[in-house]
Amino acid sequence: MFWYDHSAGWGWFAMSVGMLLFWALIIALGVLLYRALARPGGNGAPTGPRPTGSAAEHLLAERFARGEIDEEEYRHRLAVLRENTGGSPRKSPAQGDGGA
């Protein structure tokens, strides 16, 4: 009957910490479950429309939107990207075009 006479305070402390951890775990699981089910896709994929074109075109469009390049440079680089997507390597300016 008097087994826990000298350690009753630690038992209450351990029980209190255990209860706090239990409820923190229950709340965390509830939040994670809600976030997983509240997404339209449910798999973490972006929900907006997919960008058309390559990643390079998307990056170029972002640079244009931030104002890092002007419209003329954007159109020129976009044209170069689109004509080189066929697999042919782009000539460097040092190679020239053969005097044409």
Give the pLDDT of residue 74: 93
Rounded to an integer, what distance in angstroms lies between the CA atom of residue 47 and that of residue 38?
12
Cα separations in angstroms, 34 against 22, 24, 40: 18, 15, 12
Give the pLDDT of residue 7: 57
Question: Shortest CA distance to 78 belongs to which of 64, 94, 67?
Answer: 64
In contact, 74 and 60? CB cutoff 8 Å: yes
Q: What is the mean pLDDT of residues 73-90?
A: 78
Write the CB contacts of 81 (distance below 8 Å, at least 6 apart in sequence): 54, 56, 57, 60
Rounded to an integer, what distance in angstroms lies between the CA atom of residue 2 and that of residue 12?
16
pTM for this predicted structure: 0.36
Kindly report, residue by residue over 38-75, the tens digit of the pLDDT: 876 555 555 555 556 678 888 989 999 999 999 999 99
With bands split at pLDDT 50, 70 and 90, how would you rate the model's confidence at 1? Answer: very low
Give the pLDDT of residue 65: 92
